Amino acid sequence: MNTRIENMHLQLSVSEKILHMTSAARKSRFFWDWYNDTYGNTMKPDFQPQTDIKRAICTYHIGEFGVCISTPEYLTYIIAGTYTRGRKPDGLDPF
């Protein structure tokens, strides 16, 4: 597998999905729909986070990145943001 590191900062992910390549383009859109349904539209300026995870999503801009890691058959799609430092709530995974 060819790998290219674009950014050396630690990333935090709220969730990841492993998708088969034949349906990855179609299903990744539904993953973002799930993210917005689950956590709300955290990019709105008036969003008021009520849980530790939602506060971390806002603090670390989770949703800023859609990270793709692919093999010939599968695509791992990760919704992520940049983790600088501080408390990491349960449910957020560094990668």
The predicted-structure confidence for 38-78, as pLDDT tens digits, reads as follows 887 776 777 788 888 888 888 888 888 888 888 889 888 88
Q: Looking up tokens 């940049």, which residue turns up?
A: 82
Instruction: Give mean pLDDT, residues 19-46.
Output: 82
Confidence at 10, pLDDT banded by 50, 70, 90? low
Radius of gyration of the chain (CA): 14
User: Which pLDDT value is given to residue 4?
Assistant: 45
Neighbours of 34 (CB within 10 A): 13
Task: Look up tokens 């349960």; give the residue.
Answer: 90
- What is the per-residue pLDDT for 13? 64
For the residues 11-39, what does the mean pLDDT come to?
A: 81
What percent of the chain shows pLDDT beyond 90? 1
Query: Does an H or E element contain 93, and which?
Result: strand 93-94
How much is the pLDDT for 28?
82
